[in-house]
Amino acid sequence: MAYEQRRGGGARLLIGLVIAGVSVATYLSRRTTNELTGETQYVKLSEKQEVALGLSSAPTLTRQFGGATADADLARYVTRVGERVASRSAAAKTKYPFTFTVLGDRKTVNAFALPGGPIFITEALLSRMTNEAQLAGVLGHEIGHVVARHGAEHLAKADLTAGLVGATVVATSDPDSPGSARAKAALAMATAQLISMKFGRDDELESDRLGVRFMAEAGYDAAQMGEVMKVLKAAGGGKTAEFFSTHPDPDNRLERIAAAVKDLPKGGELGEAEFRTNVLDKRGDAPKAIDEAPVDDAPLPRREKSAKETTTTISQLPDEARETLRLIATGGPFPYDRDGIEFKNREGRLPYRPGGYYREYTVPTPGERTRGARRIVTGANGERYYSDDHYETFSRVAP
């Protein structure tokens, strides 16, 4: 019996080695050089197959996010910006037919690309930007995924991973101990996932570099790519935003983006007015100006002192507020479930910004059994405001 087990184990090992060898040989046979990036890649699909795959997958992905936006003007605007980036940059040298779709999802902060050219961005992410250059940066990043053929690379890596995992399962399986085989297979899969995660992070960093390059070549201010990272981090409100489930954390990318921008010409368009007209003003959440209110015999409402008119230093804040700022800087954990939710600025006491721009956090009040009236409100670009009267007045916290 022991002999038969040893012979069976040897046969399984041999079969596993054959499967692994075929998987590796197949993967290596897919070697090619990317004409745009100059990098050596292993890709499963031809460019035509990438385009066909992207076109066939796009409808399913669109449905998963509630469909395309119902705002045709918004869709045309984003397409116009995307086509400018694609046509005025090195991406134009490729043969990919880029398309740009705005998804009607106002909760999921994300953007992504399919192989072959389809690019998507949610209304939730759009609403958190402040200018057209930031939009160009996100679209340029996703264009980078397409031209760098990351989708085709991952399909080839997935085939290799599946082959190696299968080889490990065959070689290590014990028919008399199925639990042990399952454990070994799970370990092999976990190892494979770690390898794939590393590749994914490298892809994102490469797309950052390409996105900065493409937006600059299209005439936009490339420094706004760094601002995009800050906006996205703030969108998480101390938690993990959906964007970062498919993209590395921005803290690991800001330095590299800054280095890429440093080598490019300074300046470029921001497109603030165009973005406000085509995106921000259409959401209808800007506070109505006093001089637009109907005229009657009632006195105009008293204007509270705004955060622009008063400032305070960190040292002037109460100890509890300084502790709240520390928690915000480190990402928590926060004492209250509602810490990090959106502050909607309904009364217009803070400067107008698009929906999702501000986040609020509790400053505990000694002796209070509830959250009390003290708050810290943060802005997507690093602003910090303190209120000790439940949003009636604010002071801007100096850096």
Query: Active site residue: 123, 132, 142, 360, which one?
Result: 360
Q: Report helix, strand or coil for 328.
A: helix
Active site residue 247: no
State the sign of the Cα–Cα–Cα–Cα dihedral 282, 283, 284, 286.
negative
Q: Report helix, strand or coil for 291.
A: helix
Rounded to an integer, what distance in angstroms lies between the CA atom of residue 258 and that of residue 275? 24
The single residue listed with the structure tokens 């000790």 is: 388
Active site residue 360: yes
Q: Determine how many CB atoms are found less than 10 A away from the CB of residue 121.
A: 25
Q: Which residues contact 77 (CB under 8 A, 6 or more apart)?
A: 274, 278, 279
Name the residue among 342, 344, 110, 360 with its Cα closest to residue 241: 110
Integer CA distances (angstroms), 253 to 244, 258, 378, in order: 12, 9, 22
| Residue 88: both structure tokens together | 């005025």
Query: Active site residue: 39, 309, 347, 390, which one?
Result: 390
Residue 357: its H or E element: none
Q: Which residues carry out catalysis?
A: 360, 390
